[in-house]
Each structure stands twice: as structure tokens, then as C-alpha cells.
Amino acid sequence: MKRSLPLAMLLALSLAPAARAATEADYKAAYAAAEAASKEAAGMRNQWTTTVSTLAAAKKAADGGDFDRAVAAAKEAEALAKASIFQATSEKEAWKAMEIR
Amino acid sequence: MKTRSAVLLSSVCGALVALVLTSPHVVAADKVDPVADAKAFQNFFFQKFPNVKHEDFVNGPYSMNEDMKRQWQEKEEFPPYEFALDSGKEMFATPFKNGKTYADCFPNGGIGIRQNYPYFDEKEGKVVTLELALNRCREANGEAPYSYVKDEMASLTAYMAFTSRGKPMDVKIPDDPRALAAFENGKRYFYTRRGQMNFSCASCHVQSPGERIRAEILAPALGILNAMPIYRSEWSGMGTTSRRFVTCNSQTRAVPLEPQSDEYRDVEYFLSYVANGLPISGPGARP
């Protein structure tokens, strides 16, 4: 029993997914997804300034070789772009609730 | 069996009759009615602020706050837009290289006509603002257009507004489906939330006029364009209607549209039309 506990812990640690650093490929995939969402928002004429600045921050981090930060920023930019698409879609009808009648 | 068919037939007929009777009401509810919209818009502000004189709404935040109003009235003795006004008057009178002037492009030589802008151009099928008409005049006379957000355009429109001071806004909507669509599009733009802050124009200028947003007092939407262009202390300079729309968008963290885009032209059309009858007060001065 005394010997099996450290062994079990060792086994658990070896099976746990190790946190690995993001690669350039991870960044490229995250950036492409964010850029596509951003373009869709711009096409709806509802781009947010924060989407643009966060995308730029992702690129800057990648240019500096910091892919962890670049991937995080790209994912944030994608979330912002998707939120702006949701806003534009829901506002197609929702604006009427604000109208003075 | 026959009875059942008769009952079925009569219910279908009844449903059809009901549909026919109710459908005109549905269409009527969706019909664009600028006259009713303008009346409702004005009544909303008149009822919300019963102590504000109707013609005072064009003075924006000063109509909402007595202290600010007194400060502004003192400032008006040496108004900060005076330099722009003087240079606009000079620019307006200076001939283009071909010898013509701005006066040749406008009705009544461009004097006392601000209250008729924007107008719906039935040939083009679009709204034409004063800023757009000025640049078209320049281009038609072989001159390069001015930036819509910089000083020269603000100076020219300041002078033209000054020659219309006190005249009631008088924007027309012709009986043309495209003009009605432009009005409706402007209305939609005005009430649509945008930007990461999730604000519409109405969030500030309908729901919260008179309230503070940081150090500023929000202006009512009614008559907000009658004072354009404006000198803003925040900008340390003059600003056109285009500049106002662009900065409003940026403040809500929305990427602004290009100046004089269809949306901006249409929202100017909507806001000007619902302010019909209120006096032109431009050029204005704002904190």
C-alpha cells in the first residue's frame, strides 16, 4: 500500500496532458479563424475597434516569436468578432424596441 | 359527411376573410410615415423636458443644464468658432481657378439655405448632404475635394449655417419610395446598437439626454444637427457632422464608416427631418 501510492501518483502525472508551448502552426490556425470572423463582421458593417486592435496584437506577438501570447490574442479577437456578428444579427430586429413611437 | 365539409369550408372561408381584413392593418403598421415619426419624436422630448422651450433644444447640453447655459452665453460674446466663420466667409467668396464660386453651385447663391439640407436627389436616388454638395461643387469646378472631417469643410459649413441662423429646419421627403427607404434606413441606423459598448445613438441621445457621461452632459437628439458644425473644446477645433458621427462610433468602440457613406447620409436625413421647425443655430460651441 505504501509503495502503490507513489506509483499511482507517478502514473497519473505521466498520463496528464503536459501544457506545451504554442507553435507557429497553432498561431496560424487561430489567426486564420479570427481573421475570417473579423472579415464577416466587417462585411456586416459592424466591426469593433477592439477586434482590430486585438488582431494586431496577435500579429505583433507572433512577429516577436511569442506564440503563446499570439494564440491567446487571436482567440480573443475571434471571440470579439463573433460577438459583433451576433450583435449585428440580433439588432436587425431588436432596434425596433428602442424606437420612439 | 356533407355537414362536415360545409363546416370545414365555412371555417376556411372565415379564416380567409379574417386574413384579408387584418392584413391591411399589418401593412399600415409597417408603412414608413415620416410625418408621424417626426411628431412622435418631438413629442417625446417636449414631454420629457416640459420646462425647455422648444426652440432651445437646438442648443444641446445647454438646454439641459442652467449652469452650463450661463457659461455658454458668456462665451458667445467671443465665440470660439469665430475664426472658422471668418475663414469660411472668405473661402466662400474666393473664386475657383476657373473663376466660378460656391455661390454658382447653390440655390440663392448659397445664402440662407442650410435649413434645406440634406435633401433627397431624385436623379441620383440618394440623400445629398451640405458637405457632400460642397465637395461636388469643388470637383465640378476642377478643385480637389476637402476632407469631410477637417477644418476647411467645417469653416465653409459654419459660414453657410450662419447665414441661415434662426430659420426653421425644412427638410423635405418627396413621395418617392427611395426617399422613404433612406429615411427608414437612417432611423434604423440611429436606433441600432453597435460597438463593443453595445450603444446606439439613441442610448445616449434619447434615453439619457441631460445625464452626465463622465464630465459631459449629453445632448438631446432633437435638434442635435441644427447646431452643426461645432467648435468642441475637447477637439480644440471645429468639427463637421461627419466628424461627429465618426467620433460617436469610435466612442462606442465601433469602427466608424467612411464619411458620407450611405448610412451616415441617411441618419443625417432622419435626424434633420425629425427636427423640422426648430431653428438653425449653427455654428455651435460645445464643451
- With H, G, I as helix, E, B as strand and everything else as coil, classify residue A3: coil
Mean pLDDT for B34-63 is 97
Q: Is B105 a catalytic residue?
A: no
Grid cell 479563424 is found at A33
A82 near B CB under 8 A:
no
Q: Which of A29, A52, A38 is nearest to A88 (CA)?
A: A38
Task: Report how many Cβ contacts below 8 Å link chain A to chain B.
Answer: 51
Q: What is the DSSP string of A7-24?
A: HHHHHHHHHSPPP----H
Contact assessment for residue A58 and residue A70, using Cβ atoms and an 8 Å cutoff: yes
Cβ–Cβ under 8 Å, residues B274 and B193: no
What confidence tens digit (pLDDT) does each residue in B168-221 have? 999 999 999 999 999 999 999 999 999 999 999 999 999 999 999 988 899 999
Return the residue in A92, A99, A101 with the most chain B beta carbons within 10 A, the one to mutate for interface testing: A99
Residue-wise pLDDT for A18-69, tens only, equals 568 999 999 999 999 999 999 999 999 999 999 999 999 999 999 999 999 9
Q: How confident is the model at residue A15 (pLDDT cuts 50, 70, 90)?
A: low
- Rounded to the nearest angstrom, the minimum Cα separation between B226 and chain A is 20
Q: Are A100 and B44 inside 8 Å of each other by CB?
A: yes
CB-CB: which of B41, B44, B194 is closest to A46?
A: B194
SS3 B80: coil
Question: What are the backbone angles phi and psi of residue B119, rounded to the nearest 5°?
Answer: -125, 160
- Nearest-by-Cβ selection for B196 from A50, A88, A94: A50
| Tens digit of each residue's pLDDT (9 = 90 or more) over B138-175 | 999 999 999 999 999 999 999 999 999 999 999 999 99
The pTM of this model reads 0.88
* A98 touching B (Cβ < 8 Å): yes
| CB-closest option in A80, A83, A95 to B191 | A95
Locate the chain B residue with the closest alpha carbon to A38: B255
Contact residues, chain B, for A84 at CB < 8 Å: 196
Whether the per-residue pLDDT at B23 is higher than 80: the answer is: no
Q: What is the DSSP string of B20-32?
A: HHHHHHHHHHHS-
CB B254 within 8 A of CB B194: yes
- State the nearest Cα–Cα gap between B194 and chain A, in angstroms: 7
> What distances in angstroms separate CA A58 from CA A33, A40, A42, B67, B128, one per listed residue?
12, 18, 18, 47, 41
Coil/strand/helix, residue B232: strand
Option in A46, A49, A95 nearest B188 (CB): A95
> Residue holding cell 409597417?
B30
> What pLDDT is recorded for position A20?
80
- Residue B69 to residues A21, B60, B130, B213, Cα–Cα distance (Å): 60, 10, 28, 18
Identify which of B85, B100, B127 has the alpha carbon closest to the alpha carbon of residue B269: B127
The answer, yes or no, to whether residue B22 has pLDDT greater than 50, is no
Q: What is the mean pLDDT of residues A88-101?
A: 97
Residue B25's pLDDT band (cuts 50, 70, 90): very low
Give yes or no for residue B28 having a pLDDT over 60. Answer: no
Percent share of chain B, pLDDT over 70: 90
Spatial distance between the Cα atoms of B200 and B70, rounded to a whole number of angstroms: 30
For chain A, positions 30-59, list CB contacts with chain B under 8 A: 42, 45-50, 52
Residue A77, min C-alpha distance to chain B (Å): 12
What is the C-alpha to C-alpha distance for residues B266 and A74, in angstroms, rounded to an integer? 35
| Residue of chain B nearest A87, judged by CA positions | B194
Length reported for chain B: 287
pLDDT of B97 strictly over 70: yes
What pLDDT shows up at residue B62? 94
How distant is the Cα of A73 from the closest Cα of chain B, in angstroms? 16
Q: Is the pLDDT of residue B64 over 50?
A: yes
